[in-house]
């Protein structure tokens, strides 16, 4: 045996620990036979060198740049029932702690303002309209908790109670009795796009992250992607892909220069390909993450033959994407 082969074995032993080594745990010993270490690098280099020298050898994969374009949440998420009840309990607790502070700090005894305050307390049984009828000086003052699912814990109910209180105060103090004061309500969390299920609108699911899907000319849904051209980096290819597919009428921001995930596709070979030994190259898509700041997707001038687009939440993507495609990209998407 030559000294060169002995040296190679010594190098390989350094790169790959022995299976019978007492310092290696049992689980690692079972997987050592399946691991691929850098000791195979010389074989890879010789293969790549022969590929570069032989122009007849075609690449096994076409490298593509993909873009995971997302619109971040615009509002806070919905509260859980327990969170609503606990928040309401804190409001009532604050009411109890604030009551010992004398009201005569605000109103002089016997004045009209003091009498008006006493009248409102009798009507409401509390100083705050949004926490329901509750009297901290009553015999039931200990019962300041709220049953799970009670309407008083719903933010919409609390907002309506506060708005009605403000309107009654404004109308009572207004000098123009012919006109009723109206306090503007906050915008609802459920938009018209939600009611119509308009999946092209960015005004739907405001508390969720939406992702841009495009439909190819063959009818397949995917993230925007295209092959990397000569001289391009993955980042430049992703920026070009987004402009060519969804248009330039969007203000977007790429999170980084490195991919967050990838998907490999190997086309099926037909009988004709097997007979002629022609093997079509596969496709590897490396996805870069990008954020949507303003604007909207526009496919009217796209150069990739795309037919349609949708803005979808994570759980909605599975209805349109290929099973293997979705399995490879789902873990790089935000749950909310």
Maximum Cα–Cα distance across the chain:
112
Is residue 186 a part of any domain in this protein? Answer: no
Is residue 218 a part of any domain in this protein? Answer: yes
For residues 324 and 198, membership in a common domain is answered with yes
Structure tokens at 277: 């030994």
| d(C-alpha 218, C-alpha 302), whole Å | 15
**Residue 259's CATH number:** 3.90.79.10
For residues 220 and 156, membership in a common domain is answered with no
Residues sharing a CB contact under 8 Å with residue 335, sequence separation 6 or more, in sequence order: 314
Is residue 180 a part of any domain in this protein? Answer: no
For residues 258 and 161, membership in a common domain is answered with no
Q: Which of 105, 140, 173 is the last residue of a domain?
A: 173
For residues 108 and 256, membership in a common domain is answered with no
What length is written for the chain? 336
Please count the CA atoms within 13 angstroms of the CA of 139 that sit on its side-chain side.
0
Is residue 182 a part of any domain in this protein? Answer: no
pTM of the predicted model as reported, rounded to 2 decimal places: 0.68
CB atoms within 10 A of CB 196: 10
pLDDT digit string (tens) for the chain, length 336 residues? 455 555 544 444 444 444 455 555 655 555 544 444 433 334 334 334 444 445 555 667 889 999 999 999 999 998 888 888 888 888 878 877 776 666 777 888 888 888 887 777 777 666 666 777 766 667 777 776 667 677 878 888 888 888 888 888 787 777 777 778 788 888 888 999 999 999 999 999 999 999 999 999 999 999 999 999 999 999 999 999 999 999 888 999 999 899 999 998 877 654 445 555 556 778 899 999 999 999 999 999 899 999 999 999 999 999 999 999 999 999 999 988
Following DSSP, what letter does each residue of 170-227 receive, concatenated?
HHHH-S-TTS---PPPPPPSS-HHHHHT-TT-TTS-TTS-EEEEEE-TTS-EE-SEEE
Residue 35 sits in which domain range?
Answer: 1-55
For residues 13 and 101, membership in a common domain is answered with no
Structure tokens at 52: 């570069």
For residues 214 and 293, membership in a common domain is answered with yes
Is residue 267 a part of any domain in this protein? Answer: yes
For residues 236 and 201, membership in a common domain is answered with yes
For residues 214 and 325, membership in a common domain is answered with yes
What's the total number of domains in the chain? Answer: 3
Rg (CA), the chain: 33
Chain centroid offset of residue 134 CA = 40
For residues 115 and 247, membership in a common domain is answered with no
User: Which candidate, 330, 79, 323, 334, places its Cα nearest to that of 210?
Assistant: 334
For residues 204 and 322, membership in a common domain is answered with yes
Per the CB < 8 A criterion, the answer to whether 91 and 130 are in contact is: yes
| d(C-alpha 32, C-alpha 28), whole Å | 6
Q: Which of 111, 139, 173 is the last residue of a domain?
A: 173
| d(C-alpha 325, C-alpha 2), whole Å | 49
For residues 223 and 269, membership in a common domain is answered with yes
For 274, the 3-state DSSP assignment is: helix
- Can you name the residues that pair with 69 across neighbouring β-strands? 290
| d(C-alpha 44, C-alpha 42), whole Å | 5
Is residue 284 a part of any domain in this protein? Answer: yes
CB atoms within 10 A of CB 197: 8
For residues 321 and 259, membership in a common domain is answered with yes
| d(C-alpha 323, C-alpha 318), whole Å | 7
């Amino acid at each position: 045996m030559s000294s060169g082969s002995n040296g190679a074995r010594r190098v390989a032993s350094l790169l790959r620990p022995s299976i019978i080594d007492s310092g290696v745990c049992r689980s690692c010993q079972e997987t050592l036979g399946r691991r691929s270490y850098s000791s195979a690098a010389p074989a890879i280099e010789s293969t790549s060198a022969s590929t570069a020298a032989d122009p007849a050898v075609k690449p096994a994969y076409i490298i593509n740049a993909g873009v995971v374009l997302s619109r971040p949440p615009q509002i806070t998420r919905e509260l859980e029932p327990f969170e609503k009840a606990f928040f309401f309990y804190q409001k009532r607790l604050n009411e109890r702690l604030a009551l010992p502070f004398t009201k005569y700090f605000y109103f002089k005894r016997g004045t009209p303002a003091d009498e008006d305050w006493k009248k409102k307390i009798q009507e409401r049984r509390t100083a705050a309209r949004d926490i329901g009828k509750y009297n901290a000086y009553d015999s039931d003052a200990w019962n300041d908790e709220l049953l799970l699912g009670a309407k008083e814990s719903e933010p919409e109910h609390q907002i309506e109670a506060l708005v009605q209180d403000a309107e009654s105060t404004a109308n009572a103090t207004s000098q123009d009795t012919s006109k009723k004061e109206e306090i503007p309500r906050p915008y609802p969390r459920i938009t018209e796009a939600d009611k119509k299920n308009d999946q092209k609108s960015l005004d739907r699911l405001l508390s969720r992250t939406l992702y841009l899907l495009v439909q190819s000319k063959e009818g397949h849904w995917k993230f925007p992607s295209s092959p990397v051209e000569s001289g391009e980096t993955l980042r430049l290819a992703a920026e070009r892909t987004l402009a060519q597919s969804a248009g330039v009428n969007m203000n977007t921001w790429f999170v980084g220069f490195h991919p967050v995930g990838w998907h490999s596709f190997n086309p099926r070979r037909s009988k004709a390909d097997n007979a002629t030994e022609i093997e079509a190259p596969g496709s590897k898509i490396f996805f870069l993450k990008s954020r949507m700041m303003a604007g909207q997707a526009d496919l009217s001038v796209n150069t990739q033959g795309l037919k349609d687009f949708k803005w979808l939440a994570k759980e909605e993507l599975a209805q349109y994407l290929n099973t293997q495609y979705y399995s490879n990209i789902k873990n790089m998407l935000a749950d909310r």
